[in-house]
Amino acid sequence: MKSPEPANARISIIGAGPGGLTCARILQQRGIAVTVYDRDPGRDSRNQGGTLDLHADNAQVALREAGLLEEFFALARPEGQEMRQMDPTGAITSHQVPAADELLKPEIDRGELRNLLLDSLETGTVRWGRSLDTISGPTDGPRQLHFADGTSVETDLVIGADGAFSRVRPAVSTAIPEYTGISFLEAWFSDVDDRHPEIAELVGLGIAHAADGERSLVAQRNSGNQIRVYIIQRLPVDWI
């Protein structure tokens, strides 16, 4: 099959996370039509997780290409670059405090970043409630996307941005995810400055973490006066 010109190609992105949405935004900035499919029923259907540090030499480059860098800085928290490393007793062993004008890797809540990207796209770009099941068709295209609701779509190019358990990956790779032996639990603390001042003081404005080789605690300041704590342990996959 002769591939169509990019301006005429049917381009499908699977996954409306930061990677898929940034890709869609950059394509649209260059006049190329694209459709994003995501299994979530809507943009507000679930919590998007903690914060991301977007580095100047990679993620910020992508946002600059997307024309969204200034909007990102308006939402980001440069103070979130503060890092406190502690021993298991809670004593600080390393403390990095960003300079007042440092923008090397400011933090932003995943939900805020996702909303920024969603709002930058043309209306109707994202098709919610479309959980990809399988991909069929010849390697030189076109491909058929088969969704869990029984519908299918023909497309010229598929871009997989659907995470560790990607439904796109089997079309291009035999690699499968496997458990590494590390499990995460989350604890959320709201209104921390008033309700949990001792935790707020311990964590500071960025991230505080401690580990002993088998266990780790990572506490992360989020926007909205919240702190998210990751409880990390080496455990068998079925421990819970």
Mean pLDDT of 200-210: 96
Q: What is the pLDDT, as a whole number, of residue 2?
A: 64
What confidence score (pLDDT) does residue 161 get? 97
Report yes or no: 41 and 127 within 8 Å, Cβ to Cβ: no
Per-residue pLDDT of 138-197, as tens digits, reads 988 899 999 999 999 999 999 999 999 999 999 989 999 999 999 999 999 999 999 999
CATH superfamily assigned to domain 6-80+107-171: FAD/NAD(P)-binding domain (3.50.50.60)
> What is the SS3 assignment for 135?
strand
Strands (DSSP E) contained in the chain are 11-14, 35-37, 51-53, 83-86, 92-96, 107-109, 126-127, 132-136, 143-147, 152-155, 157-160, 182-189, 207-211, 215-222, 226-234
Domain ranges of the chain: 6-80+107-171, 180-234
pLDDT, tens digit, 9 for 90 and up, residues 20-72: 999 999 999 999 999 999 999 999 999 999 999 999 999 999 999 999 999 99
Of all residues in the chain, the percent with pLDDT exceeding 70 is: 99
For CA atoms 169, 172, 174, 180, the dihedral sign is negative
Indicate whether 3 pLDDT > 80: no
Residue 98 pLDDT: 96
Q: Could you tell me the CA-to-CA distances from 225 to 1, 49, 89, 205, 221 in Å, in that order?
A: 54, 15, 25, 10, 8
The predicted structure's pLDDT at residue 143:
95
Q: Specify the pLDDT at position 163.
A: 94
**CA 178 from centre of chain:** 20
pLDDT at residue 205 is higher than 80: yes
- CATH fold of 180-234 reads Profilin-like (3.40.1840)
Q: Report the DSSP beta bridge partners of residue 159.
A: 13
Q: What is the mean pLDDT of residues 193-215?
A: 95
pTM for the predicted model, two decimal places? 0.93
CA angle 227, 232, 238 (to 5 degrees): 125
Residue 153 pLDDT: 97
What residue has token string 């996702």?
Answer: 114
Length of the chain: 240
Residue 1 pLDDT > 60, yes or no?
no
Is residue 165 within 8 Å of residue 173, measured between CB atoms? no
